[in-house]
Amino acid sequence: MNDHNLLEPSIVEQRVVGVVREVLKVAADEVTSQTRFVEDLGADSLDRITLMLALEDEFGTSVPDDEDSNLTTVGAVVELIIAQANKRG
Amino acid sequence: MKRRVVITGVGVIAPTGVRTQTFWESCCADRAAVSSIPAHWCCYFEPNSTVWAPLPAWEHETAFVGRIERMHFDRVTLLALNATVQALDDARIGRRVRDERKNTYLVDGIDPTRCGVFVGTGIGGITGFSAAQGNHVLAAISVAAPELAAKAGPLMRMPSRFNPFIVSMVMPNCSAAAIAIKIGATSTNRTSCQACAAGAVALGDAFHAIRAGALDTAIAGGAEYLTDEYGGIFRGFDVAKTLVRECDPPHRANRPFDRNRSGFLFSEGGAAVLVLEEAGQARRREVWPIAEITGFGESFEAHSLMAVEPSGERMAASIGAALDDAGVDASQVDYVNAHGTGTEVNDEVEAAVIERLYGREAAVNTTKSLIGHSVGAAGAIEAAVTALSLRDQQVHGCRNLDDPIRPLNFVRAARALPIETATSHSFAFGGHNAVLVMRRFRE
């Protein structure tokens, strides 16, 4: 998948949801853009680190350590991925 | 009466096969693994040895390890898990999902509170540490001195991030812990760290624990992964002048027990895990054992960290202790799976000890002539070979053994062999000696 697809929110969200489901083993209908990893899906600190690694692997990108604490929902991750794709032009 | 301990499952992943069956078929065809070391290693140093035994690609998914867990584990642990799954399948121990998110299982037919895990390794998750250290240093250089980094070009190999799981990846007990977590084994969990004898010690300790009644089942063996991005681990052995130096042609380089040997063949790594059970439990599960372990003995040389004690006295003491433990005489041993590294002194001393203790009739081979030396995994892989040799009454040959250093009964090519009793030798850097005794299983 090329960077052009990373500018399309619905496609990015679909892939983020896929990663969240893979890491946290939750059903598709449990995950929306507003879903919170800790409060709604019960992710612990190791799950969150794993999630960030899996997202980096999925999108070939890097999640800066100082961004990590802000990435609490699916929607926040989608915004970061799109913002990074925009920066790469 | 002592409790009997049997091997009911064998799992091996090694340079000549990523499944036990393909590995054993390769042994029985005397196939070896050897090729040139990765070319980019030579950007960092000028090696004396230029060959190694690489692992083939393997499928993680078949070892119930998903993409997520591959981020958590060093390759040494992935190898250990791979061999464990094979061994459980071979022992017909089924499994059911315990926790889907953690990808853990319950095992059928054995009591997990009476199941121990024993894993030997020489250097644990050093590859993961090396990669993390590469990122730690080189990423900082890239930021502080981008022109220098650009000039260094291909030398700046590093992962894209510092792995946040590095602490658990690098710890030597990660493999034993990961296996026990994966199958819910809640009794003894032990990591052996005796270099080249670590796998044999793990099996010996597991054998003694079951025989003494402390456990009914053990998942035991050894695992090693020796390959870092920069070739630094290889360099360590190379600079110590332990590796084969006559490398042309590569397929003739590795020649343990031959007068023209020049060192051992460095292995990328591997693992072997055996399921050990109290014989009555195996009978109740209606599993026919592969072989029986009857003795284990150790000694320590108190001589040198890197060189074997030249008289062989302590080496012989470990063999004597193992035979005493098994209650057999050396003359009853039909087959010796030797440590047989291919280094000048080790082979000289071991061959002399074999002749002195067993005489010239026992068949002798060394699995390292086929797959090189995988340090902490070696003793376990060779124990697996010994068990399979007892099961199939078949031994593999010593590759490239044209001019033996002593007139022992070396197996020059794979052949059938009646075997009732066999030993497997492991003699380690540091001075640890460990020997297992096995016999053909009979009711």
What pLDDT is stored for residue A1 in this prediction? 47
Using a CB-CB cut-off of 8 Å, the residues of chain B touching A15 are none
CA distance B185 to B126: 25
Closest alpha carbon within chain A to B164: A49
DSSP designation for B54: P
Report the C-alpha gap between B432 and B443 in whole angstroms. Answer: 34
What whole-number percentage of chain B has pLDDT above 70? 100
Q: Are A62 and B160 in contact (CB under 8 A)?
A: yes
- Best A21, A23, A55, A59 member to test B by mutation, with max B CBs in 10 Å, is A23
Q: Residues B257-299: pLDDT tens digits? A: 999 999 999 999 999 999 999 999 999 999 999 999 999 999 9
Closest CA to B220 of B118, B134, B289, B144: B118
Residues of chain A with pLDDT under 50: 1
**pLDDT tens digits for range B130-142:** 999 999 999 999 9
Is A44 one of the annotated active-site residues of the chain?
yes
Average pLDDT, chain B: 96
Which positions ≥6 away from A57 have C-beta within 8 Å?
B67, B71
Model pLDDT, residue A4: 62
Among B67, B100, B164, the residue with its CB nearest the CB of A25 is B100
A84 touches chain B (CB under 8 A): no
Residues of B with CB under 8 A from a CB of A: 66-68, 71-72, 100-101, 160-161, 163-165
Beta-bridged to residue B292, according to DSSP, are B6, B439
Q: Tens of pLDDT along B346-401? A: 999 999 999 999 999 999 999 999 999 999 999 999 999 999 999 999 999 999 99
Please judge whether B68 and A23 are an interchain contact, meaning their C-beta atoms are less than 8 angstroms apart.
Answer: yes
Mean pLDDT, residues B228-236: 96
**Single pTM value for the model:** 0.95
Is residue A50 within a helix (H) or strand (E), and if so which, with residue range? helix A45-59
Q: Which of B436, B243, B258 is nearest to B351 (CA)?
A: B258
Given a contact cutoff of 8 angstroms between Cβ atoms, the answer to whether B6 and B291 are in contact is yes
Interface subset of A 12-71, CB within 8 angstroms of B: 22-25, 47, 49-50, 53-54, 56-57, 62
Higher pLDDT among residues B163 and B63, named by residue: B163
Nearest beta carbon to residue A50 from set B68, B100, B160: B68
Q: Would you say B201 and B434 are in contact if contact means Cβ atoms under 8 Å apart?
A: yes
Residues of chain A contacting residue B163, judged by C-beta atoms under 8 Å apart: 53
Residue B374 has which token pair? 């995988």
Q: Is a pLDDT exceeding 90 seen at residue B410?
A: yes
B425 CB contacts (<8 Å, ≥6 apart)?
B319, B336, B337, B338, B339, B340, B350, B433, B435
DSSP of B217-283: EEEEEEEEE---TT-HHHHHHHHTT-B----SSGGGT--TTBTT--SBPBB-EEEEEEEEEEHHHHH
Q: Which of B312, B255, B271 is nearest to B431 (CA)?
A: B312
The separation between CA B2 and the C-alpha centre of its own chain, rounded to angstroms, equals 28
pLDDT in tens, B173-227: 999 999 999 999 999 999 999 999 999 999 999 999 999 999 999 999 999 999 9
Residue B63 has pLDDT above 80, yes or no: no
Contact yes or no for B154/B43 (Cβ under 8 A): yes
CB neighbours of B341 closer than 8 A, spacing ≥ 6? B196, B256, B264, B347, B366, B368, B373
Mark yes or no for CB contact B72/A62 under 8 Å.
Answer: no
The average pLDDT across B32-57 equals: 96
Strand partners, B14: B17
Q: Average pLDDT of chain A? A: 86
Nearest-Cα residue of chain A relative to residue B99:
A25
Residues of A in contact with B97 (CB under 8 A): none
Please name the residue of chain A whose CA is at the shortest distance from the CA of residue B67.
A54
Residue B48 has pLDDT above 80, yes or no: yes
| pLDDT of the residue at A64 | 77
Rounded distance between C-alpha atoms, residue B362 and residue B354, angstroms: 9
Per-residue pLDDT tens over the stretch B313-355: 999 999 999 999 999 999 999 999 999 999 999 999 999 999 9
| Contact at CB, A25 and B68, closer than 8 angstroms | no
- Model confidence at B81, in pLDDT bands (50, 70, 90)? very high
- Residue in chain A closest to B72 (alpha carbons) equals A50
Which residue, among B202, B115, B169, has the nearest Cα to B383 in the 3D structure?
B202
Catalytic residue among A3, A44, A57, A68: A44
